């Protein structure tokens, strides 16, 4: 049982965790923090949080667990704002899709040996954003990756793990660099491609007709291009090395496929499609 949970950033991710923990009766009081008071009022009206504040330092006082659910580029500022106002045993965790830059920020603010920060990343979400889009079942059966540091206290890891498990998630651990490489391939690259495709089609002369006759495949592939641009802007910049590597590898393969289509190389095209179908059917 968490007595006081402070969620900094009460949107889809933070709001869904709040709903899940309330449903599981895992928390006594949730205070939400954000810059948009109207959104926080809405969160309280919906029963997602019990109280709210636009002052991080004020909100984290006496909090047992602090969840940071803001774009990764803003996390260092949050660390700085709360550093001097924590209980000595307060546990901090985050939900950022990039872990290397977040861990670096934590070390710059708290020092190398800080023991109560547990970097985390729930592999769940939708293309929607805002507290209105949150729902208690978001994490049910989904993975949450923790990337604890050598200095991270086992008690802190246990608290964060049990919190996510109470929300229905399966908790696993990865190394920081490995996490960022895997997510660059499986999450960050697909989002960049979806954004790029929609932007390309938006610039063609027959723009209205293109989107008017878009079929299910287009909608399925580009659904994630409706995700929050600020969040994905930060992810791209904070995981740029791994993401650029994947973009270059994808570009090489795309150029090969483009040439095969141009040359009428049906064997290459079919083999590529068959490999892709087999792989997706196996893992999805």
Q: Is the pTM of this model over 0.85?
A: yes
In tens, the pLDDT along 134-158 reads 999 999 999 999 999 999 999 999 9
Q: Which residue has the higher pLDDT, 208 or 77?
A: 77
User: Tens digits of per-residue pLDDT, 189-210?
Assistant: 999 999 999 998 888 766 667 7
Mean pLDDT of 84-92: 95
Put residue 71 in one of left, alpha, beta given phi > 0 → left and psi -120 to 50 → alpha: beta
Instruction: Give the homologous superfamily in CATH for domain 2-174.
Output: NAD(P)-binding Rossmann-like Domain (3.40.50.720)
Q: Where in the chain is the domain with CATH 1.10.3660.10?
A: 178-283
Residue range 216-226: mean pLDDT, rounded: 88
Per-residue pLDDT at 93 = 98
pLDDT at residue 39 greater than cutoff 80 = yes
Mean pLDDT of 259-271: 97
**Structure letter (DSSP) for residue 99:** -
Q: What is the pLDDT of residue 207?
A: 64
Contacts of 272 (CB under 8 A, 6+ apart): 257, 260
Min mean pLDDT across 38-42, 174-178, 212-216 is at 212-216
Residue 117 token pair: 């920060």
Which CATH number is correct for 178-283, 1.10.1660.10, 1.10.3660.10, 3.30.470.10, 2.60.120.380? 1.10.3660.10
> Which residues on adjacent β-strands are paired with residue 51?
31
Confidence of residue 125 (pLDDT cuts 50, 70, 90): confident
Q: Tokens 């590529």 identify what position?
A: 272
**Residue 139: which of 95, 183, 90, 75 has the closest Cα?**
95
pLDDT at 284: 79
Distance in angstroms between the alpha carbons of the first and the last residue of the chain: 35
As a 3-state breakdown, the chain gives helix, strand, coil percent values, each rounded to 5, of: 55, 15, 30
Output the pLDDT for position 128: 83
Which tokens belong to 36? 């948009």
Q: Give the chain's radius of gyration (CA, Å).
A: 21
- What local confidence, expressed as pLDDT, does residue 56 receive? 96
Domain span(s) for CATH 3.40.50.720 in the chain: 2-174
Q: Could you report the per-residue pLDDT of 55-74, keeping only the tens digit for each?
A: 999 999 999 999 999 999 99
Over the stretch 239-263, which tens digit does the pLDDT of each residue have? 999 999 999 999 999 999 999 999 9
Q: In what order do the strands lie in the sheet with 143-146?
A: 120-122, 143-146, 170-173
Rounded to 5 degrees, what are φ and ψ at 31?
-110, 130
Q: Which residue has the higher pLDDT, 126 or 56?
A: 56
Q: Which residue has the higher pLDDT, 45 or 207?
A: 45
């Amino acid at each position: 049982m968490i007595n006081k949970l402070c969620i900094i950033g009460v949107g889809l991710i933070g709001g869904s965790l709040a709903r899940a923990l309330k449903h599981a009766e895992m928390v006594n009081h949730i205070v939400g923090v954000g810059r948009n008071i109207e959104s926080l009022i809405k969160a309280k009206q919906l029963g997602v949080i019990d109280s709210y504040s636009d002052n991080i330092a004020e909100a984290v006082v006496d909090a047992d667990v602090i969840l940071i659910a803001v774009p990764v580029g803003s996390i260092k500022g949050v660390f700085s704002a709360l550093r001097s106002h924590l209980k000595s045993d307060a546990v901090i965790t985050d939900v950022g899709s990039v872990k290397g830059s977040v861990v670096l920020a934590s070390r710059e603010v708290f020092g190398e040996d800080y023991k109560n920060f547990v970097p985390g990343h729930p592999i769940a979400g939708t293309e929607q954003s805002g507290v209105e889009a949150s729902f208690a079942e978001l994490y049910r059966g989904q993975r949450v990756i923790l990337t604890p540091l050598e200095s991270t206290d086992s008690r802190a890891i246990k608290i964060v793990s049990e919190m996510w498990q109470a929300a229905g998630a399966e908790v696993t651990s990865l190394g920081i660099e490995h996490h960022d490489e895997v997510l660059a391939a499986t999450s960050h690259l697909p989002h960049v491609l979806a954004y790029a495709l929609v932007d390309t089609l938006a610039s063609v002369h027959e723009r209205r007709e293109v989107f008017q006759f878009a079929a299910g495949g287009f909608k399925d592939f580009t659904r994630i291009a409706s995700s929050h641009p600020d969040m994905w802007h930060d992810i791209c910049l904070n995981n740029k090395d791994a993401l650029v590597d994947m973009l270059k590898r994808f570009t090489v393969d795309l150029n090969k496929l483009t040439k095969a289509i141009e040359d009428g190389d049906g064997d290459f095209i079919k083999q590529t499609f068959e490999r892709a179908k087999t792989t997706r059917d196996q893992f999805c």
